[in-house]
Amino acid sequence: MKPCKTKEIGGKRCRCFFELTLMAVGGKWKPIGVRMEKVRVAVLGTTLILVVLALVALPAIRSAFADEFVGGGYRVTIEGFAGDARYTGCDPKGRCLTIEPASWCERGAYIWENNGFTYSMSPTKKRDGSYWLKIFDSGGKVILKQHMTPVAGASGQDD
């Protein structure tokens, strides 16, 4: 690696001169120089800010994509989105089951699989935010089909 040379640009002495690009000025090509120290600091600062924002925002983003539905004494919460969606379903006796990630998802419909059972949440044709919860046994027989309505105040729902 060559040692940095000092160059003068616009009356300023720059160490570690670097030509970023050539720029057309008045029909002539002119090199543009920068101080590498400033570039390194700017890149490091921007990277640090983005990393901190990602660490702080990811849990909030995941929880922002949580929807709750109730019906027939059942409660279902879908957290996350697409293939990362997590299903938490509770029966009328308060017994809950969490499954993640989704086995399949498309157009707002989800499928999760657990111990031979298949859990499905799919939008109804009403376009009111309601879903059908269907649970299938290992033979594919429907053992539960329940209409689920969105809980007011859950994300994506009007208060």
The confidence score (pLDDT) of residue 22 equals 34
User: Does residue 148 contact residue 74 with C-beta atoms inside 8 Å?
Assistant: yes
pLDDT for res 39 = 53
CA angle 77, 81, 84 (to 5 degrees): 95
Question: Which portions of the chain are predicted below pLDDT 50?
Answer: 1, 16-29, 55-65, 157-159
Instruction: Give how far Cα 100 sits from Cα of 48, 63, 151, Å.
Output: 31, 14, 21
pTM (predicted TM-score): 0.56
Of 113, 89, 117, the residue nearest 101 (C-alpha): 113
- Contact present, 81 and 65 (Cβ < 8 Å): yes
Q: Supply 155's token pair.
A: 């994300």
Q: Which two tokens stand for residue 50?
A: 């983005």
pLDDT of residue 108: 87
Rg (CA), the chain: 28
Note the pLDDT of residue 81. 77
Span 64-97, pLDDT tens digits: 345 999 999 999 999 987 888 999 999 999 999 9
| pLDDT score of 25 | 42
Q: Which of 129, 92, 127, 133 is nearest to 111 (CA)?
A: 133
What's the confidence (pLDDT) of residue 12?
A: 62
Contact yes or no for 35/15 (Cβ under 8 A): yes
